[in-house]
């Protein structure tokens, strides 16, 4: 629709800034969890940190679930697909990854009860890789759809 050209992109762009600041807040928790699990895995943790790990991973789970729900509720990724229909499959795939991320995070929370910090740290490093790749892709699809909407190169 020619008359709305540009409008959806600008709206998406400003909503996306909120999502991006959530990505950065999540990343800070991810770094704290990574550091703590790393210390536990190497046997260099302070007394009490084993107990703290459970709470911190649960905090990450809670924040991530809220974040994913916000993205799903404000339909920002679907909007990118509306602006640039050739991204529709990409967006579907990214939204499908949300449930994988939820399952992965739940497994990490469960893992804090096992006491096998080496295994949990390794699983966390893998989770961090998957989460970062997911968020980079979300960022890319939204930014590219925005550029397309304002008439930039598609
Ligand atoms: Fe996200």
Ligand 1 mean position, distance from CA 120 (Å): 23
Q: Residue 91: is its pLDDT beyond 90?
A: yes
The confidence score (pLDDT) of residue 12 equals: 66
Model confidence pTM above 0.85:
yes
Where exactly are the structural domains of the chain? 2-149
Q: What is the overall mean pLDDT for the chain?
A: 90
Q: Of 111, 108, 142, 110, nearest to 128 (Cα)?
A: 108
The confidence score (pLDDT) of residue 96 equals: 98
The confidence score (pLDDT) of residue 8 equals: 62
Query: What are the helix (H) ranges across the chain?
Result: 7-41, 49-73, 76-83, 88-111, 117-149
Ligand 1 mean position, distance from CA 44 (Å): 32
The confidence score (pLDDT) of residue 2 equals: 45
| Long-range CB pairs of 105-108, under 8 A, 24+ apart, other chains included | 105/60, 105/61, 105/64, 105/65, 106/61, 108/57, 108/60, 108/61
Taking only the tens place, the pLDDT of each residue in 96-119 is 999 999 999 999 999 999 999 999
Ligand 1 mean position, distance from CA 6 (Å): 23
């Amino acid at each position: 629709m020619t008359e709305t050209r540009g409008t959806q992109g600008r709206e998406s762009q400003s909503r996306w800034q909120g999502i991006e600041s959530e990505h950065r807040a999540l990343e800070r928790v991810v770094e704290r969890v990574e550091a703590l699990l790393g210390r536990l895995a190497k046997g260099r943790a302070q007394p009490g940190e084993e107990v703290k790990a459970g709470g911190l991973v649960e905090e990450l789970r809670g924040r991530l679930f809220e974040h994913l729900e916000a993205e799903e509720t404000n339909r920002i990724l679907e909007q990118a697909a509306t602006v640039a229909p050739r991204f529709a499959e990409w967006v579907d795939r990214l939204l499908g990854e949300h449930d994988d991320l939820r399952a992965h995070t739940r497994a990490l929370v469960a893992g804090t009860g096992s006491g096998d910090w080496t295994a949990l740290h390794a699983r966390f490093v893998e989770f961090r890789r998957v989460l970062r790749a997911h968020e980079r892709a979300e960022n890319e699809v939204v930014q590219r759809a925005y550029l397309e909407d304002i008439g930039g190169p598609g």
